[in-house]
Amino acid sequence: MEISGLFGSFFASSRLGERLFFALILTVLFASCASVPNVPFTMEEEGAELFALPQEGLVYFWTDAIRARPLLDVLSFEGRSGKDMAQILDSVTSAAGVVFPDVAERRFYLAATGDFPRKRANFSFTFSRAWKKQKSSAGGNYWYSKNDNIALSMGSKLILVSDKDPFLPGTQALTPPAAFMDFRRGLVLAGWINDPAEPVGKFIESIGLPAGSWMMDFFFGAARSQADAQLWELVFRIGTATEREADALLTLFSLARFFAQRGAIQGAGSLQAGLPMSPQEAMALLLANMPVQDGASLTFRTGPLDENSIAAFFDSIHLQ
């Protein structure tokens, strides 16, 4: 499965993104009377939806759907009507999701919190030929659409969406990385890549920089710009095994930034033309500011960007 962009597994350029969109809009519009999901946390817990995700995924994401609304309007589910998007986002408070490697039995899993209309859903699903109520072997009921291979269940505050039984054992066992929970504070959208050395390394190699096995963590996110509250900035953090490796990595990116500033890499042309960026242009955007080292990690912050520039940036990064 190709992951188009860091968020591409869930958003516009991915067929899976369209499938998740379809599942969400059906859930929000027709919320079911299925059993309340049995989750090992309280809904008052911060980032609760992350703890509902399964382990061993490839790419994870979390978003504050309220504060990130302008970004989600651009990043999410391109080609769908603004009315459909509004129906989803008006009901969802926050969401988290994961996409799995091709070899995994499950393809995706999504959890969203909010206030969902259950009575309307019960009526709609009951009389729909496309949806059938299923009983999980782990206990609880859920709705399943064979045509779209989507399974979903809902509590009054939490919905679970997947391509498999959402109650199967092991589907609610994720403990998010402690470093990520710290990283996402202040961000409206954030995520991480499991085992990032190979997929992120391919992007680094595409711009002519060496990529080794030094990468232990890769987090990504978005926040309101510190320079202009009407704009946004992207934030990335690379974690290495040792501080010495982070030192060497900082030197490497400092040299790349030097050449970018000298004009060897042009970063604005595609944005101004409304075209996808090349990897070199994306790197120039990434290195707009000097990376900040904190022990064994480096944090990158872009300059102020509008929503369309961020969409172009993520659309330019392809992880296989």
Name the band, by pLDDT with cuts 50, 70 and 90, for residue 278: confident
My answer on whether 157 and 184 are in the same domain is: no
Residues 65 and 214 in one domain: no
Whether residues 12 and 158 share a domain: the answer is yes
140 and 240 fall within a common domain: no
In total, the chain counts a number of residues equal to: 320
156 and 292 assigned to the same domain: no
Residue in 230, 235, 215 with CA at minimum distance from that of residue 286? 235
Looking at the fold, whether 155 and 203 belong to one and the same domain comes out as: no
**Does residue 136 form part of some domain?**
yes
Whether residues 289 and 227 share a domain: the answer is: yes
Q: Is 172 or 313 the better-scoring residue by pLDDT?
A: 313
Domain contains 302: yes
- Give the domain-ending residue among 104, 137, 162: 162
Give the total number of structural domains in the chain: 2
Q: Would you say residue 152 has pLDDT above 60?
A: yes
Domain-located, residue 150: yes
Instruction: Indicate if the pLDDT at residue 296 is higher than 90.
Output: yes
Domain that holds residue 63: 3-162
d(CA 228, CA 304): 7
Q: Does 52 or 87 have the greater pLDDT score?
A: 52
Give the whole-angstrom CA distance, residue 193 versus residue 214: 15
